[in-house]
Chains A and B, each alone.
Chain A
Amino acid sequence: MKKVHPAVVGAQPFQLADHRPVERLFEDVEGRDRLEKSLSRYPEKKGALLPMLAYAQERNGWVSPEAMEEIAEALGLSPAYVRSVATFYTMYAKRPVGRYWIQVCTCISCHVNRGEEVFKSFLEHTGTRAGEVSDDGRYTVIEAECLGACGFATVVQVNDRYFENVTPETVPEVLEQLERGEPEA
């Protein structure tokens, strides 16, 4: 079990290539530990909602309706409320996504640095359509809102990693790096 300090328990990377799926989130030692530590950081149980949605995705790769129900029960909220919150945020996957969730920034600074061409290049090289999981389950490519790295356009986020100064021509290199599991330069 990964040991996590209570101060940062709600700030763990939750978009990952590899998952450790569980049927019930809070029935193992790790799940209970995360829940208890999160609850200890907020004066109301509801404060732990975003950390627990993130934890569900960290474990399972997405936030399933069953996970939402379990979180609702643990925090004393209605499943409908939990769903209303989960659906507000774009990074919680409400259905399974590819192993590599590729988010290409096409906002203004990336737009003027060929962001849309980079996006198209990812679609071509992965053989997918926007937002769909590739046939081999490896890729999902979407356009993202500004990723906050505008001086390094075009910016691409893949799971918990940033790739910067990406051009349509360097897209194959990014995909190769992902497959080799190498850290970015």
Chain B
Amino acid sequence: MGFPHSHELEVGTILSRHFGDPKARELETWLTYGGYEGLKQAVGMDPGDITTVVKDSGLRGRGGAGFPTGLKWSFMPQEKTGPHYLCCNADESEPGAFKDREILRWVPHLLIEGCLIAARAIRAEHAYIYVRGEYFPFTSILNDAVVEAYEAGYIGRNILGSGWDCDLTVHIGAGAYIAGEETGLMSSLTGGRAEPKIKPPFPAQSGVFGKPTTVNNVETLAAVPMIVVHGSDWYRQWGTEKSPGTKLWCCSGHLVRPGNYELELGVPLKNVIYDICGGAPDGKKIKAVIPGGSSTAMLTADELDVPSTYEGLQEAGSSLGTASPIVLNEDTSIVRAMRRIPATCRPPG
């Protein structure tokens, strides 16, 4: 459930159920929570069948663009002529977003499992998790989990006795907003400046080290194990036809109860801001909300009665983005607030 607050409107799947529980970081405990059940199934599955389940679930990329995950995987070559790579984007640099950090921090094994299942689906022999440099405390938690998973045979050679090999490496950045963009991330992972490139070529043709690559967000990959275990129909019990499932929200700015909440897609934005997060503190009125992280268009207080789906926020003239509403109260200078965004993306000195 949400962290540090929770709310009765939350769904609370495996994605957020163990937030706040430090024991969930340990493999022994994680296994009692159903950990690695999806991987156990996936190692016996044909890669194409894994992709089909994820395609049918309608899972969309949680990094902001909302591209269908299964479809992205299907762009990878079906016949291998060389190495394939999976990159997990844990750069989380969009102002307003702080959900990937909570996944790294509380449920690192869930992310590892998601990476391995995705790697199998796209026939990759190596998965890289690119974490933003600043996240040292959370990276250290992930590192411990990775070492534990290697030692227990969940990563490496002959995973779970299946004969399938896959490595996983944690790689950290060093302060660059733009490394969160997938081509920038790939440049950075391969030892370059994190400068974006114009597509084509697309990563599935030529990505990391010039090889076919898929880049997926942390939250996207963390949703994969439960979809493999419970199936696509189960995942579709939440959300809408075009926006199925649940989403981790990151609520910040002028709010009584800021933080993360896991909600079914489609909850009206108004309810998220007022009911779940308690509106603005000190009885202030809300002036505006940036609904999906700093790169999404701002809505005024009277424009918030929209369903929080990819299609709903698009119709409202904005975007769901990473579902990271930044709430601004009536005393806020919008001009000053907006000036902070490019100002902090400029490197110091």
In A1-20, the 8 Å CB interface with B consists of 5-8, 10-15
Determine if B332 is an interface residue (Cβ-Cβ < 8 Å). yes
The number of residue pairs between A and B whose CB atoms lie closer than 8 Å in the complex comes to: 197
- By beta carbon, the residue of chain B nearest A57 is B174
Contact B209 A43 (CB under 8 A): yes
Determine if B294 is an interface residue (Cβ-Cβ < 8 Å). yes
| Bound: A5/B145 CA distance, A | 11
B10 → chain A closest CB, angstroms: 15
| Bound: A152/B3 CA distance, A | 11
| Bound: A112/B140 CA distance, A | 30
Determine if B83 is an interface residue (Cβ-Cβ < 8 Å). yes
Q: Tell me which of A7, A46, A88, A90 contacts B348 (CB under 8 A).
A: A90
A85 touching B209 in the complex, CB below 8 Å, given contacts A10-B170, A10-B171, A148-B132:
no
B153 → chain A closest CB, angstroms: 14
B29 → chain A closest CB, angstroms: 21
In B160-188, the 8 Å CB interface with A consists of 167-177, 188
Most buried by B among A43, A48, A146, A153: A146
User: What is the size, in residues, of chain B's interface with A at 8 Å between Cβ atoms?
Assistant: 72
SS of B interface (majority): mixed
In B134-178, the 8 Å CB interface with A consists of 134-137, 139-140, 142-143, 146-147, 150, 155, 167-177
10 interchain residue pairs of minimum CB distance:
A90-B175, A49-B191, A150-B252, A89-B174, A46-B191, A91-B175, A160-B136, A11-B170, A8-B143, A146-B95
Contact A150 B250 (CB under 8 A): yes
CB-defined contacts of B133 to chain A, threshold 8 Å:
14, 54, 89, 91
A145 touching B349 in the complex, CB below 8 Å, given contacts A5-B146, A7-B147:
no
CB-defined contacts of B174 to chain A, threshold 8 Å:
14, 50, 53-54, 89-92
Determine if B47 is an interface residue (Cβ-Cβ < 8 Å). no
User: What is the size, in residues, of chain A's interface with B at 8 Å between Cβ atoms?
Assistant: 57
Determine if A24 is an interface residue (Cβ-Cβ < 8 Å). no
A147 → chain B closest CB, angstroms: 6
| Bound: A23/B110 CA distance, A | 41
CB-defined contacts of B101 to chain A, threshold 8 Å:
148-149
| Bound: A105/B167 CA distance, A | 35
| Bound: A105/B309 CA distance, A | 30
CB-defined contacts of B172 to chain A, threshold 8 Å:
10-11, 50, 54
A108 → chain B closest CB, angstroms: 5
| Bound: A43/B332 CA distance, A | 50
